Amino acid sequence: MSQLGTYLLLFALVVSCYGLLAAAVGAKTGRPALVESARRCAFGVLVTVAAANATMLAALLSNEFAIRYVADNSARETPVFFKALSLWAADSGSLLLWNLILAGYIAAVAVRFRRDRPPTFPYALSVLFAVQVFYLILINGPAQPFASLANPPADGRGPAPLLQNHPLMAVHPPFLYLGFIGFTVPFAFGIAALLAGQGLDQWVSLIRRWTLVVWCFLTVGLLLGALWSYSVLGWGGYWAWDPVENVALLPWLLSTAFLHSVMLQERRGMARLWNIALVIGAFSLMTFGTFLTRANVLSSVHAFAQTSVGPAYLAFLALALLAGFGLVAWRLPTLRTPASLTSAISREGAFVANNMLLLAAAAIILLGTTFPLVVEAVSGQQVTVGGPYFRSSVTPVFLLILLLAGTAPLLPWRATNRSRALRRLRVPATAAALVMIATAWAGVRQITVVAGFGLAALVFVTSGQEILGGLAIGRRGLRAGTVRALVRGRRRHAGLVVHLGLALVAAGITASYSLGQQAQVTLKTGQSTVFGGQVLRYQGLHTDQQPQRIVLTTTVSVTNSSGGTAGTLDPRMNLYPAATEPIGSPSIRRGIVWDLYASLISLQDDGGSATFRFYRNPGVNWLWFGGLVMALGGIAAAWPSRRPNSGGDQGAKAVRKRAAVEAGAP
Amino acid sequence: MRRRLTRLTRRRTRLLAGVGAAVAVIVALLATGLGRDPSVIASPLVGHMAPNFTLAQLDGPPVTLFKLRGQIVVVNFWASWCTECQVEQAALDQMWQQFRDSGVVVIGVNFQDTAGAARSYVSTADVTYPVVEDTDSSTALAYGLRGVPETFVVNQSGRIVDHVIGPIDEATLVSEINAMLLASAR
């Protein structure tokens, strides 16, 4: 099996190299037959890499400990579900999945452009294959997931305990990978336009929908990561400003900026240089994030074990930056756009401000994340930058972003009729003011918290009002029901739905960061404590010997102050053979407003007494729900329009035109 | 026309040089982070007395660390399920053969393992140095073990002088031991 996997990966590399050469030569000489053969290579690579993944999966499931990766990351007693997950539990295995997803994206591009191909397509295809070649070289060279052991052990080590503690591990990495790797497609088309020196406006329409899909994956991936952290790590929070969390947020911020500024280029022919720089930046940051995680440069819960892939990632990052920004410098004269802002208070002005703020947030986070590296390179001292820096410096920027999200949708393109904009702002502003007054009245004195709730209300009401307003106009004009009205302004409505989700997320983050409570208590069996208006009683310990671990489960009954039973909490501790310390599993009673969260810290006297940490977290579920709404809005915006063969924007325009014609007809 | 072109070329060259320089700075900065493991902080045990232990050998009498005073002791934590331990095992054994008559002891402390698996590994992989069982992991706790393999070098007076996380580098360890033997011979 080890040999089969190795040969499959080698074959995939050969096919990719051919694809790269054929596409590049085809682009240069304009020979369509070569380009077509390169396009077909995409499917060959996909099938081969999929077969390599299947081989590893089979090896994991059949306890093939002669393969070192299997011996290191699986064991006989590991449940089948977690055996399968071990495919991406460590560095070299996750590179298999990484290659598979990249091959999938290239095949999707190959399918999408099977007939109508923009002139930049061959260039884009060669960039895509170049990236695939890099990742296949990594996996054939330094990573080698199929490396074998001379003396296969009788049993493997099993997955890292933290990774076999929750099923969320099944979905968080693949979603994040789908988001990360997806940036290769916009990057490839951007670079292709620069290489070809043409289509410098066309490429943004070609990849807007791709970017939206990638953005949705990344949003969901980040959310699932936060959810995993909240549900597994037992510290009561969901975002720790860990370096690897930060570097996943950076491409998200840049792609969010891009999805807004792309409208400037589509509608007004502005921001050509800006957009291409954003896409190259997002791809470079994605590579940078991968480098940080896998080269084990910074300390993080996500860091993979020491591997030899660091220098290769660094070289690839240098190449991406040099090629990307070098090409931008080369084509600079053609990237300048004549159009400029008519008025600062307009939709264009708002998009420019939005981009500045998102970039400022990204810069602050990047600075905080890389600061330890800079300090150590200069002075040799080890430092860490913690949550307080990020929270205090990023919060004002995020508040301004909310202010913009709550007002910009009311502004028209070009110049603004101020009195009209102010009239539309009346309801949202009143709602925001009321919420702020209510918050302050309830005793909250932190200005950022009051502002956070107020601005979340502003965004929510503005978005809601604009969606409802759009529907009402649609009904009056069309008399054909709301569905058509929704379709007519789908892009705008979908964007507003994303903003609705954003408002919920903002409210959830504000609430959970500022209004939560926590307490650490030690209870004897039968003893109780009052926390957050509820009586928590330690009922006792239950030990469960499972094949792969020993689980110590405590039972804590929850009684309302009125005396009614509200259920139980069962925080656990899991002892895994390969871990020195027990791994805790928190127990959470989720509610619409409040979560009651319990972590087992330690046990004394064989469970006769136990130390718990209890948290009462408000708004955490708004965050999950809001994130889901954002992703759904993104999917709605990316959904193909009725004419599948026209590019995203042309399609939307065609639908708009058709609707206008129908509206005029008797 | 030509002048405009040369101006354009000059500007392009300057811009490209700027991009190159910026990338070089970023790469140089990141490269400094490559050679180190950020999770390793200098072990607080280095320079302190090694925690004592008395542990049963797999096949043989119990071993007490204090009784080995006057000799250099290499305490290596390992497990049969640990592939990294297999990587370093041959090197450890070779070192033991090289130094066993010069006052150096290698002790393998078996961690979170079953006696059966440990014994079968010792016989198939030809481990010749003494192997003891840390059945309740108390020795591992005393040494603040993070995982296996981990190796502690204890000098003749019982102080920990080095702590290696992950597989040992044979050359470094041999030169370290040679230096210690030389210093004690003076």
Domain borders along chain B are 1-36, 54-185
User: What number is the average pLDDT over the span A405-433?
Assistant: 85
Partner-chain contact B34 A295, CB within 8 Å: yes
Q: How are beta strands B54-57 and A517-524 bridged, if at all?
A: unpaired
Partner-chain contact A151 B124, CB within 8 Å: yes
- CB < 8 Å to A63, chain B: none
Other beta carbons within 10 angstroms of residue A231's beta carbon come to 19
Taking the C-alpha atoms of residue A169 and residue A86, their distance in angstroms, rounded to an integer, is 10
Lookup: tokens for A419: 């009195």
For A384, the closest chain B residue by CA position comes to: B38
Q: How far is B186 from chain A (nearest CA, A)?
A: 35
Lookup: tokens for A76: 């006989």
Is the four-CA dihedral A502, A506, A507, A509 of positive or negative sign? positive
Lookup: tokens for A206: 């070609």
pLDDT more than 90, % of chain A: 49
User: What number is the average pLDDT over the span B128-137?
Assistant: 90
For residue A657, the model assigns a pLDDT of 43
For A310, the closest chain B residue by CA position comes to: B34
| Start-to-end Cα distance in chain B | 82
Q: Quick check: A381 pLDDT over 70?
A: yes
Judge whether A565 lies within some domain.
yes
Mean pLDDT (chain A) is 86
pLDDT-wise least confident of A319-333, A357-371, A386-400, A560-574: A560-574
Q: How far is B176 from chain A (nearest CA, A)?
A: 24
pLDDT in tens, A509-550: 999 988 889 999 999 999 999 998 899 999 999 998 887 788
Cα angle vertex A413, ends A407, A416, to 5°?
A: 65
Nearest to B30 among A149, A291, A306 (CB): A291
- CB < 8 Å to B166, chain A: 306
Q: Quick check: B5 pLDDT over 80?
A: no
Q: Quick check: A663 pLDDT over 60?
A: no
User: What number is the average pLDDT over the span A413-440?
Assistant: 87
For residue A653, the model assigns a pLDDT of 45
Judge whether A33 lies within some domain.
yes
Please indicate if any CB of chain B lies within 8 Å of the CB of A299: yes
Q: Quick check: A22 pLDDT over 80?
A: yes
The fourth-level CATH superfamily of domain B54-185 is Glutaredoxin (3.40.30.10)
Judge whether A521 lies within some domain.
yes
Partner-chain contact A325 B121, CB within 8 Å: no
Return the exposure string of A612-630: e unless at least 16 CB atoms fall within 10 Å of the residue's CB, then b: bbbbbbbbbbbbbebbbbb
For residue A654, the model assigns a pLDDT of 41
For residue A546, the model assigns a pLDDT of 83
Q: Quick check: A311 pLDDT over 90?
A: no
For residue A404, the model assigns a pLDDT of 94
Tell me the pLDDT band of A652, cut-offs 50, 70 and 90.
Answer: very low
Judge whether A580 lies within some domain.
yes
Other beta carbons within 10 angstroms of residue A135's beta carbon come to 26
Partner-chain contact B33 A326, CB within 8 Å: no
Tell me the pLDDT band of A651, cut-offs 50, 70 and 90.
Answer: very low
Q: Which of the listed ranges A240-254, A377-391, A464-478, A641-655 does the model predict with the highest average pLDDT?
A: A240-254
pLDDT-wise least confident of A46-50, A90-94, A375-379, A496-500: A375-379
pLDDT in tens, B45-57: 888 899 999 999 9
Nearest to A329 among B12, B37, B38 (CB): B12
Please indicate if any CB of chain B lies within 8 Å of the CB of A157: yes
For residue A156, the model assigns a pLDDT of 82
Are A69 and A93 a contacting pair, CB within 8 Å?
A: yes
For residue B182, the model assigns a pLDDT of 87
Nearest Cα neighbor of A154 from B124, B91, B149 is B124
Q: How far is A580 from chain B (nearest CA, A)?
A: 7
Q: Which residues pair with A550 in a beta bridge?
A: A545, A575
Question: Which of B9, B10, B26, B30 has the most A C-beta neighbours within 10 Å, making it the best mutation to test the interface with A?
Answer: B30
Taking the C-alpha atoms of residue A643 and residue A658, their distance in angstroms, rounded to an integer, is 12
Partner-chain contact B29 A373, CB within 8 Å: yes
Q: Quick check: A318 pLDDT over 90?
A: yes
User: What number is the average pLDDT over the span A22-31?
Assistant: 92
Taking the C-alpha atoms of residue A123 and residue A129, their distance in angstroms, rounded to an integer, is 10
Taking the C-alpha atoms of residue A50 and residue A131, their distance in angstroms, rounded to an integer, is 17
Partner-chain contact A322 B19, CB within 8 Å: yes
For chain B, which residues lie within 8 Å of any Cβ of chain A, measuring from their own Cβ?
8, 11-12, 15-16, 18-20, 22-23, 26-27, 29-34, 37-39, 41, 79-83, 86, 112, 117, 120-121, 124-125, 137, 140-141, 145-147, 166
Please indicate if any CB of chain B lies within 8 Å of the CB of A296: yes
Are A525 and A608 a contacting pair, CB within 8 Å?
A: yes
Partner-chain contact A373 B8, CB within 8 Å: no
Partner-chain contact A311 B30, CB within 8 Å: no
For residue B2, the model assigns a pLDDT of 64
For residue A296, the model assigns a pLDDT of 63
Judge whether A71 lies within some domain.
yes
Taking the C-alpha atoms of residue A461 and residue A628, their distance in angstroms, rounded to an integer, is 19
Number of domains in chain A: 2
Judge whether A191 lies within some domain.
no
pLDDT in tens, A448-485: 999 999 999 999 999 999 888 877 665 555 455 566 66
Judge whether A168 lies within some domain.
no
DSSP label at residue A141 = I
For residue B41, the model assigns a pLDDT of 59
CA dist A72 → A66, A154, A161, A568, B10 (Å): 10, 12, 12, 37, 55
Q: Which residues pair with B131 in a beta bridge?
A: B108
For residue B37, the model assigns a pLDDT of 57
Q: Quick check: A650 pLDDT over 50?
A: no
State the pTM of this model.
0.82
Q: Quick check: A344 pLDDT over 80?
A: no
For residue A310, the model assigns a pLDDT of 80
Lookup: tokens for A72: 């290191």
pLDDT-wise least confident of A153-162, A618-627, B21-30: A153-162
Tell me the pLDDT band of B40, cut-offs 50, 70 and 90.
Answer: low
Taking the C-alpha atoms of residue A660 and residue A584, their distance in angstroms, rounded to an integer, is 60
Tell me the pLDDT band of A642, cut-offs 50, 70 and 90.
Answer: low
Partner-chain contact B33 A297, CB within 8 Å: yes
For residue A353, the model assigns a pLDDT of 93
Q: Which of the listed ranges A236-245, A379-388, B35-44 does the model predict with the highest average pLDDT?
A: A236-245
Partner-chain contact A322 B30, CB within 8 Å: no
Nearest Cα neighbor of A152 from B121, B118, B123 is B121
For residue B131, the model assigns a pLDDT of 94
Q: Quick check: A67 pLDDT over 50?
A: yes
Partner-chain contact B23 A303, CB within 8 Å: no
Taking the C-alpha atoms of residue A541 and residue A544, their distance in angstroms, rounded to an integer, is 10
Note down the domain range covering A53: 1-159
Please indicate if any CB of chain B lies within 8 Å of the CB of A291: yes
Q: Which residue has the tokens 């280095």?
A: B46
Partner-chain contact B33 A330, CB within 8 Å: no
